[in-house]
Amino acid sequence: MAGSEIESLIRQLSKLPGLGPRSARRIALALIKRRETLLDPLVQTLSAAAQAVKVCSTCGNFDSTDPCTICADPRRDEAAICVVEDVADLWALERTGAFRGRYHVTGGLLSAIDGIGPNDLKLDRLTSRATNGRVKEVILALSATVDGQTTAHYIAERLQSVGVSVSGLAQGMPIGAELDYMDDGTISAALKARRPV
């Protein structure tokens, strides 16, 4: 149908989340047609992002600095850590502006079916952060799914001996809900009405 570079462009684009082959072809064509306004700037942006973006070694957030902007910000409350599964959830909470503490990104949930155990989630790092003497509360903002709740209970149990209070998101979290898909008002309400785990 087209030259191998175009085919490979379409193939790469179709691997992106939310895009199938049809939208990948449309995007590829738009990029090629609008080389100066779309394709060239995108190439530069992708290359800059690939070079600059790092994982924060403290919380697991993505940023161009390590520690990330949130971990390095002295105005953020050191006493509260909000545990989320994914950076998308961190972004969802940041959009609400309702949380002024720091985060911990687990990068996944405990899952017997998928064979994901505690060591895969770097929970040791969370425990050591929680024991630094400055942290008073750990808020578990994990999905209201079976794996999310299993993970929340595991973390709560692990932090029991540490002497920090552990809470979870409350009302407004529908069963099976994933944070990233919830509206800002619901997330804020669930955060405000958090309850001990």
- Report how far Cα 80 is from the mean position of its chain's Cα atoms: 17
Instruction: Name the burial class of residue 74, with classes exposed (0-12), middle (13-18) and buried (19+) by CB atoms within 10 angstroms of its CB.
Output: exposed
57 vs 171, beta carbon nearer Zn ion: 57
User: Is residue 71 involved in binding Zn ion (CB under 5 A)?
Assistant: yes
Contact between residue 71 and residue 59 where contact means Cβ atoms under 8 Å apart: yes
Cα 180 to Cα 139: distance, rounded to the nearest angstrom? 17
Residue 82 touches Zn ion, criterion: CB under 5 A: no
The minimum distance between CB 95 and Zn ion, in angstroms, equals 17
- For 62, list phi and psi in degrees, rounded to 5: -100, 135
Sole binder of Zn ion in the list 54, 55, 58, 118 (CB under 5 A): 58
The count of chain residues that interact with Zn ion, using the rule CB under 5 A, is 7
Nearer to Zn ion, 25 or 129 (CB): 129
> 195 to each of 17, 139, 171, 191, how far by Cα in Å?
34, 9, 9, 9
- Give the integer Cα–Cα distance in Å for 195 and 128: 23
68 binds Zn ion (CB under 5 A): yes
Dist. CA 5–CA 99, nearest whole Å: 45
139 binds Zn ion (CB under 5 A): no
Is the sign of the CA dihedral 3, 6, 12, 14 positive or negative? negative
Using the rule CB under 5 A, give the single segment among 18-26, 66-74, 135-143, 179-187 that binds Zn ion.
66-74
CB 35, min distance to Zn ion, A? 37
Binding-site member from 13, 28, 31, 59 for Zn ion (CB under 5 A): 59
Least distance to Zn ion, CB of residue 104, Å: 9
Q: How far is the CB of 71 from Zn ion (least distance, A)?
A: 3
Least Å from the CB of residue 105 to Zn ion: 8
Interface with Zn ion (CB under 5 A):
56, 58-59, 61, 67-68, 71
